[in-house]
Every structure is written in structure tokens, then in C-alpha cells.
Structure 1
């Protein structure tokens, strides 16, 4: 089944480029405010070092070396991988219903990868360490350094996604050029270098194969492989080791990505009157996917809990019991669980479904997955199977400096979408062309 957008013309696609809504200005001010708050605290970190955070080395500090920064890094990488997986699935499996939001998912991937890379920069302390330490060490340390692996994965996926996006943008810019602003003429010329309509068929095949590669790589190598392997292959950290981490990470990535796409699509729909371009049935379908992935997330959480408390090694059992006694863990599970209940209730009784409600659910799910990922990182470090300094209790609560990074990251993502929406269409031209062709047929 495809979305009926037969009443939508090309001018609708470029409405964000040609107009400036009140919503745009409010979102711009909110994004700049969030970035400003983060920069204020980040300057303090640059001046005084990571001591302004609640991160600490094992030992006299009695804390953990990784916290919200790494939890947020994993969370953003998951959103990125989940976003491009969904976009690739739309193209690979001809899921025309979701074609109006496919490019938004690709843009969300680019934005999330950028922010994920920023978290690495923040966490190493001084930015120059990426140049003096990470890059020189890459050739000899990539096979065992988690940090170098992270940089490698983000870079590879960024290049893959940017290529994927560029190939589809050229088609749209060429056919909408007379409606696009002359201000960005140099950029459009650069994007269309060497373009010919003869390449469209070749590009379609290239994009299909890129989508196929993404579908294969993401669950097997990227967020279903490399990132969870960095944790799952460390048996000295109770709660990290185990084969369930790959599926668990992937389920959280897809759950978070669907939530993010729902929020982005609803924002554009509301701001630019895209009720016909992104109809309600798109959100209804996305809500079912959110429910499915959310169910997988909760089921895999149950798997970890059961194996952690039933006849488990002492260290793992202790770490699991501590997690279960932590209220913030149940807050994360509760946020996802309540969202899941709403999705199932709306599936049984369609009158319960509304776009504002599913957007609220999506925000709750995103908060829950971020909390869970941060707690996962912290608990593994607070309760390892070794103690460098006996008698020193581990303790960690995110500091205002770390919490401000969430505002900054969200501000950067919002600013990215606001900027891109003024330059290129955030919905593919194919989204209306394909449906018009079906009607003519």
C-alpha cells in the first residue's frame, strides 16, 4: 500500500525553502539557546579539564571513567544507524508508504553521526588530542582500541550515508532548479557537476546496492557488531559481556531511530502544512514499527535480567541486582513500556491514535533509551570483576556540564535540519512522482 499524495505538487516540496514560518523562528532560537548553554559549560571544561564533570578514574576518585558522554555517544550512533537502516529498507523493499520520510531518516543519520563524533571530541578532554593521539595511532591501534574503532565506524558510515544522500539529491535539484533560490547557485552547481539525465537509471541501481549494503552491514558489522563488541568482549566488566549485546544494541537503535523520525516528520508536517504530503497513515505505520522494536528492546532487557539473576556468576548477579534496585533503570523501562502500551492500544482501537500523542510517546521512548544506554555504561564500570582499590565505593551522577551536552547536541541537530531545509528538499521528488504515475496507470 502506498500513500496517496496525488494532490501534492512540486511547490509543496520546496515550501520550507521559500517560506519562513513562526515555528522555524522559534525552533531556531531554541536550538541556538541549547547550543549556547552547552558552549558555556564546555568552555569551563576546556579551562579546567574533565575534573568539572563527575567522571573519575578508578582509585581515589571512586567513580567511573565513562558516563553520560559515552552513553549519549552510543545513543546517537544508534539513532544514526537505525535511521539509515529504515531509509534503506524503504528503498530496498519498495515500502512506498514511508517514502515521504525516507530522506528525513537519511538527514537524521548525518546529523546523529555528526553529534556522535562531537561526543568523542568532548570526551577526550582537549580537542587537539584527536590530532596528536587518535589519528597517529590509527594504523597500529585500530585492531584493539575502542576509541579508534569508534572513529573508524563513524567515518565509514558517514561517507556511506553522505554518498547515498548525494546520489538521490542530484535528481531532485536538477528538476527543481527553477524553483530553488539563486543564493545557493554555487552549491547547486557543485552538486550537479557532470550530471546528465542518462545517469538516473544507473544511480537507481547504485542506490539500491548501497541500500542492500547498509541493510547487511548495520546489523552484522556496525550497531549490531562493532559498537556492542567493544563491550560484549570484555568479560571483566559484569553486565557487559555476552552475545545478547549485539541484538540489544540494534533493537535500541531501531527503537530510537523510529522515534526520532516520527518527531522530525511531525515537526515539518505542522510547520509547513504538509498534511497531504505526510498523511496520518504514515505516522500510524511508524507507530507500529515503534511498537515492534520497543517490544524487542524490552524482551532483550528481560533476557539480560533473567540470565543475570538465575544461577549467574557472583559478579554478574551482584551487578544485575544493583541495576534492578536502581530507580532510574525502572524509569527507562517504564518510559518505553508505557509507549509500547499506547501503541498496542491504538492498534486495537484506531480512535485512540493521534499524531500529538505518538510524538509525546516518541519523546518518552528517546528519553528511556538514553537513560538505559548511559546506565549500561556506568553500571559495567561501577561493578567490574576486579577492584584496583578495595574499599572505594563507585559513585556517579551526571554533572551539569555533561547534562548541558544533551541540550547542545539536540540544538545542533535542530539547527542542522533548519539549515538543510532552506537549501534542499527534505522530501524526495520521487515521493510524489511515483504516486502520480500510479494514478495515471
Structure 2
């Protein structure tokens, strides 16, 4: 197994190559943003790299909420929440709890929420099974639980047979067996198999779920509560923690830790390290949180969800017609077009940039190197014409990128024949 320094050096070389090609570590040059375009090198580009899926970051109600909060509370409230929370916090957390239907903590980010919750809720008598593709922030928090004595394993992606086998084995010696997963996986955009998980949890009383649902909050689910809370039944929800992001489609800031009961909330708020020792969401963005939560209870957000779904379905239909190798054909606003090697992914992204489309590159460390791709994110700022244009550009650019790097569509078929990695990977200590 490669040493940690060797792994970091490999990441450094790959990411630095993307920086040198002008594909990573960019800054938008715009004096004013409209949500649809960004300017790089003096050239406006249609932005297919935003996670603000409902396009609410430019909404007048959110802007007004920020201005009102600054007017009333200033730019900053500099206190750990262990001592004192700013005046808008109780209202924001109460509104979040009402929308999600469960006790909720507003955290400075989803990552900070994981770091607060996992070491408190997952004890030394528990076992933790990490989905192979669970978000890096969950894996980082899992190391804290592991350091406290929690038994940690990594299992193949969305393999419920492997999950059942490990739960059957571990429940004999552990109080609870946790399965940590994403509700919507952020690179390939496949959803967790919640219907099957619901059935498995009914069979396995010691199975608990820890769900990072960051990428499905707001744009899907009743009032934007995401995929997990909508899909899981009441019995499973009683043994499930859901963490969501307000930094993405909610167009505000922070994370939401949705907990199954008031006592779990109390313990995490009392004992969670990042809630004791770190700063809070600041007043301007608490204003945005409140404004966004209010908006999510109106018909407008449901209409935006429908408009976004129409654009996603249009992309999927056109991509299928064009023969594009989309990794997952889910109806999610993240669309990953397979490229294979990092060299092809960078080549493809560069061609898209040259044609006037800003996109992300999915490669190490987010995905296996041989399964790199172009990551396109769709928002309600886009038009049907934008969708048709980028699909057309992808269909033209991908064969050229493959040819430039000495690869073919057959290589992609081999690399992505099953994007689950069946080999359990040990968690670095």
C-alpha cells in the first residue's frame, strides 16, 4: 500500500496539472453575477459548474434577507455557540426543524456537522461501515470515531448484499452497526437505494444510517427536505441521522444536522467539538437561511423544482440520442460524462472551456483516476438551448479528446462497466 506522502504527491501532481491547464483554481472575473455565466480570461462562459441547482442565489428575497440581517445584527457575531448564539439562530433552527420534521442543528458547514456529530453519536461499542463512495468529509469524521474505538470498515458501493452480511456478523459483538452513505453521490450522481435500505432496516434492528444528503437538499423532496427524509419510512427514520447542505441549492450557508430525537440533538449540541470550539454561521447568512426557508414553503420552489427536472430530463434524452456515456442516468442535476483517464477528462474540459462552457473535472481524489469524467451541473439559470448546446458540444468534443490521448469509447466501456469498486479499502489511521 502506498504511503500517505506518496498518495498526496500523486494528488498534487494531478491537481497541479489541472491548474496549469487553466481548469482548476480559477476565479470568476465578473463585476456582477447573473447565475448563468461567469467570466474567465475576459471571456464569458455558460456556467455548468454551480451547485446552486434552483438558482436562488440571485433571488430578491434572499438578498433582502441578507441586507435586513446586516442592518439589524451587523456583519459578525463572534462567539462560540457554547457560550452565546446570535439572535437569528433560534428562529433559523426552529424553521429548519419545522421544514425537516425533526430536531435539527444548524452547523457552520456540512463538514463541520459531521465532525460534531459522528464522534458523539457513534461510540466505541459501535461498528461503522462506510460506503466506498461516501463523501470525503464523512470519511474524515469517521477517523475521529475510529480514534475513540469504533470499529470502521469500508464496503463496496451500494452493495446491500455486502451490507447485510457485515451487519449479520458485526451485530453479535457491537451495540449498533452504522452505515454511512450519501443520499445523492456528488460525482456520478446515483442515488442511494433507499427503498431497499428501508426493507433491510426493518429486518436488522441494530442497523443505523448516517446519510450525507448535501446534494439533494432543496431541489428535491417536499419543501426541499431532500431525498433521504422523503424516501425513508418512519421506522427507518427513527434510526437515521441526515446531514444536509444549505451552501448548495438552498443558496445560503451552513449545514443542517437532522436528528431522530431531542436527546440526540442535545448531546451533539453539547458535546460536538466543532460546536464548542468553532465559530457560527454569521448574521448575514443566517438572514439568507431564514429567507430561503420561508421561500421553500411557497409554491415558487415547487415550480423551480419542476423546471429543473424538465432540464435534467432534456439533458438525459439528448445525451442518450447522442450516445454520450453518462455514468448514471438518474434524474439528478449532476451529470457526469465518462472520460476514462485524467488526461482525457482534462482534454475534454479544455475543449468545453474553449467552446464557452465552464464545467468541472471529476478525477482523483474525488473518483478513481481511471474513472474520470466531465462533471456538468444543471441549474434553473440554464435554458433548454443551453442544455442542447452543451450536449452537442460534448458529443463532438469527447471523440476528439479520446483520440488525442490515444484512447477509445471501448476503453470507457471497460473502465465504467461497473462503477462500484468491489474491493474494500482500509481506512487510513
State TM-score, norm by structure 1. Answer: 0.26
Whose relative contact order is higher, 1 or 2, with alpha carbons under 8 Å and at least 6 apart?
A: 1
